[in-house]
Amino acid sequence: MKQCKPCITIRTIAKLLWKNYVIEATSRFKQDYKSYRLIGLTECVLPAVAPAKPTKDVLKVREIAKQNYKAAI
């Protein structure tokens, strides 16, 4: 009788786990860290008191942010 080898080996499973869970998670963590840091820097630069009436640019950015937030959920 011929003995068949498994189609996927333990080494292949380990490589896939390493790539998908360790490397991808690390890159996502780095991206999240950079974005949080950028938000913190932006908060420091912005004035403490917001203008009384938002400009067209601010309204446009708010709408885009709302759409992105809804798409992420």
Is 33 inside any structural domain? yes
Residue 4 carries which side chain, given as an amino acid letter? Answer: C
Q: Which domain holds residue 19?
A: 10-72
Q: Report how far apart the first and last C-alpha atoms of the chain are (Å, whole number).
A: 54
Domain count, the chain: 1
Span of 8-17, 41-50, 61-70 with lowest mean pLDDT: 41-50
Helix ranges (DSSP H) in 1-73? 10-17, 24-45, 56-72
Average pLDDT over the chain, rounded to an integer:
82
Q: What is the mean pLDDT of residues 31-45?
A: 83
Segment 21-49 shows an average pLDDT of: 82
Does the residue 5 lie in any domain?
A: no
